Chains A and B, each alone.
Chain A
Amino acid sequence: MTKQFATVVDIAKDIASGKTSAVDVLEQHLARITEREGEINAFNLVTTEQARATAQQVDADIKAGKPVGALAGVPVALKDNMCTRGIETTCSSKILEGWKPPYDATVVTRLQQAGVVMVGKTNLDEFAMGSSTENSAFGPTKNPLDTSRVPGGSSGGSAAAVAAGFAAASLGSDTGGSIRQPASLCGLVGVKPTYGLVSRQGIVAFASSLDQVGPFTHTVADAALMMEVIGGHDPLDSTSLPQPMPSLTSVLGQGVKGMRIGRLADMPDGCEPEVLARMDAAYVALQAAGATIVDISLPSLSYCLTAYYLVAPAEASSNLARYDGVRYGMRVETGDLHSMYGATRAAGFGAEVKRRIMLGTYALSAGYFDAYYGKALKVRRLIANDFAAAYEKCDVILTPTSPTVAFPLGDKTSDPLTMYLCDIFTIPTNLAGHAAMSVPFGTGAHNMPVGVQVLAPALGEQTMFRVAAELERAS
């Protein structure tokens, strides 16, 4: 459905071989931005001039016979919580409006070294807190497949940019599903790598024990290539794993023969019947390709939502303490330092961010620490134990990415808890630090895309991508 646009693999190949030029590819994408960005609002900033300069450089290098990177000339969009030196980075928050970071995030540097052409910074729920991109201070992003519906969130702008053909790929960040859920709602591949596999240096922190960076693409092969470029150890990120980045592009054709695919025996309520029907079709497809389906259970699954919505706000309340009007971003001038802090934060943060800061501060406060944050960490252990037991019996687990297809704008904004329930299938992976990805697998209600989520244990990316590639072949 969104495959009408050229893939990363094809664009890189055609530019490197001289079949097309980086400038031509860029102009095609810029033309689509001109045509549809007004109604979609995928971007906080389109970096047209820098993009043209980079594309011209790529073409000049190729003409001169210089070696170019694996993604030379590929138009890529970045979630606006990734630091880009000298280029505005806002987190879709008024408190950071106008801020130009003094350095690049490691993933940005790696993409640049691979030759990408950055087309812009994409919209998100403020500080990545949300599941619909409606919490942005700069207005919601619309789903390019049906503009009356949300693109998901929090990386909704990055998903919409790829789904609308504004960029061939994009990066998002995933703290509780913020890459996988919008990928599912926009009909894309979206990857949440193992915690520590992709550097977070230069990514504005939300919940540091959960955050990971990953790609949005049209195809599994594109996602594998993007992962190989951005992944691997970074000495600038102390949570970065020392392991080398495994090859993913080389395993895509290996199939799933003999693999054991876990199926949730106790599926939580609230899934649309069309979503469940696609899940059944996914199991049939993998079985036909030689895999075995194994029933597994995750008894703590229903408690993950509580654990997540205590742990993530607790960490956020600490991480967001840095926005104090002193070193960057907005300041509301008052007579003294203390009231300046309060006035700046009151004016700079939106409602959802304030809600989570208060929730997190409460969960960490002396009288309530044991009852909330302490208990949440123990539930986190339970889900990690559940996964460990499940992976004794299977190699990967399949679930829906989202219980529903993309919902109408405004549908879930009045009750935060309803919005939080969007994340039921994606949150456990972040709590455990494992890998997971969403693969488009047909359509559900309202002819909107359904994503199947492939979950794998920590550093199980190769197995996960083999299953994803098989699902893509069958879809």
Chain B
Amino acid sequence: MTSQLSGMLDHFADIDKLDLSNVEPLAQPFPLKNVFREDVVVAGLDRDEVLDAAPAAEDGRFRVPPSLGLGEQ
């Protein structure tokens, strides 16, 4: 995979030929700004249904392995 990735990066060097100094970047086609929906209360997702799809849940929350304190063991 390393050689494939460097092969791709070599190919991508083709755009180095272009003079892009005065070109504005385009990050998305139509920059819509400040898109808000109407401020009405709608039902959220069903919590049990969401947690049922998680690898582990406990007491209405996602359960994850410990992330702190392992270094001291």
Interface set of A (CB-CB < 8 Å, partner B): 99-103, 195-196, 208-209, 235-236, 238-239, 241, 302-303, 306-307, 309-310, 325-331, 333-338, 340, 351, 354-355, 358-359, 362, 372, 374-382, 384, 415-417, 431-434, 458
CA distance A433 to B28 in the complex (A): 8
> Which B residues are in CB contact (< 8 Å) with A100?
52-53
Cα distance A453–B50 in the bound complex, in angstroms: 41
**Once the chains are docked, how many angstroms separate the CA of A70 from the CA of B14?**
49
Q: Is the CB of B18 within 8 A of A382?
A: yes
With A335-B65, A374-B25, A381-B26 as known contacts, state yes or no: A416 contacts B32, CB within 8 Å. no
**Other CB < 8 Å A-B pairs besides A101-B53, A382-B18, A415-B4, 11 of them?**
A102-B49, A195-B30, A235-B37, A303-B14, A327-B54, A338-B67, A377-B25, A378-B20, A378-B25, A378-B26, A381-B25
Min CB–CB distance B58 → chain A (angstroms): 13
A282 to chain B, nearest CB (A): 27
Contact in complex: B8, A326 (CB < 8 Å): no
B5 touches A335 (CB 8 A): no
Complex contact A238–B32 (CB within 8 A): yes
Contacts of A358 in B (CB 8 A): 1, 5
Please give, as numbers and ranges, the residues of chain A lying within 8 Å of B5 by CB-CB distance: 355, 358-359, 362
By the criterion CB–CB under 8 Å, are A381 and B23 in contact?
Answer: yes
Q: Chain B contact residues: over half helix, strand or loop, or mixed?
A: loop
**How many interface residues does B have (CB within 8 Å)?**
40
Asked whether, in the complex, the Cβ of A379 is within 8 Å of the Cβ of B20, the reply is yes
User: Are the CB atoms of B70 and A384 closer together than 8 Å?
Assistant: no
The answer to whether A336 and B67 touch (CB under 8 A), given A358-B5, A375-B20, A458-B29, is yes
Residue of B nearest to A373 (CB): B25
With A306-B15, A331-B56: A355-B1 Cβ-Cβ less than 8 Å: yes
B53 and A380 contact, CB distance less than 8 A: no
16 contacts between A and B (CB under 8 A): A100-B53, A102-B49, A196-B32, A239-B32, A241-B30, A326-B64, A327-B53, A327-B62, A338-B67, A355-B5, A358-B5, A359-B8, A378-B24, A378-B26, A381-B24, A417-B8
On whether the beta carbons of B53 and A99 are closer than 8 Å, the reply is yes
Q: Chain A contacts of B8 at CB under 8 A?
A: 309, 359, 416-417
Residues of B within 8 Å of A239, CB to CB, are 28, 32, 35
- In the complex, residue of chain A having the shortest beta-carbon distance to the beta carbon of B54: A327
- Chain B residues, CB < 8 A from A374: 25
Tell which of A101, A329, A338, A416 touches B55, judged by Cβ atoms closer than 8 Å: A329
Contact assessment for A102 and B46 in the assembled complex, using a CB-CB cutoff below 8 Å: yes
Please name all residues of chain B whose beta carbon is closer than 8 Å to the beta carbon of A302 when the two chains form the complex: 14
Inter-chain contacts of B65 with A (CB < 8 A): 333-337, 340
B70:A336 contact, CB within 8 angstroms: yes
By beta carbon, the residue of chain B nearest A331 is B55
User: Nearest residue in B to A338 (C-beta to C-beta)?
Assistant: B67
Of listed B7, B46, B56, B65, residue having the most chain A CB within 10 A: B65
- Distance in angstroms between the alpha carbons of A338 and B23 in the assembled complex: 41
Residues of B at the A interface (CB closer than 8 Å) are 1, 4-5, 7-9, 11-12, 14-16, 18, 20, 23-30, 32, 35, 37-38, 45-46, 49-50, 52-56, 62, 64-67, 70
Contact A377 B32, beta carbon cutoff 8 Å: no
The interface residues of chain B lying within 8 Å CB-to-CB of A372 are 12
Q: In the bound complex, what is the Cα–Cα distance between A414 and B15 (angstroms)?
A: 25
Q: Are A209 and B27 in contact (CB under 8 A)?
A: yes
* B29 & A433 in contact (Cβ 8 Å cutoff): yes
**Given that A307-B15, A326-B62, A382-B18 are contacting pairs, would A432 and B35 also be in contact in the complex, using a CB cutoff of 8 Å?**
no
Whether A354 pairs with B20 at a CB distance below 8 angstroms is no
Nearest CB of chain B from residue A315's CB, rounded to whole Å: 10
Residues of A within 8 A of B11 (CB): 306, 417
Provided the pairs A303-B15, A359-B5, A381-B26 are in contact, do residues A335 and B70 lie with their beta carbons within 8 angstroms? yes
Evaluate whether A303 and B18 lie within 8 angstroms (CB atoms) in the complex, with A100-B53, A417-B8 already known. Answer: yes
- Give the residues in chain A near B49, CB-CB below 8 Å: 102
Q: Which residue of B has the minimal Cβ distance to A99?
A: B53
CB-CB under 8 A from A310, the residues of chain B are 12
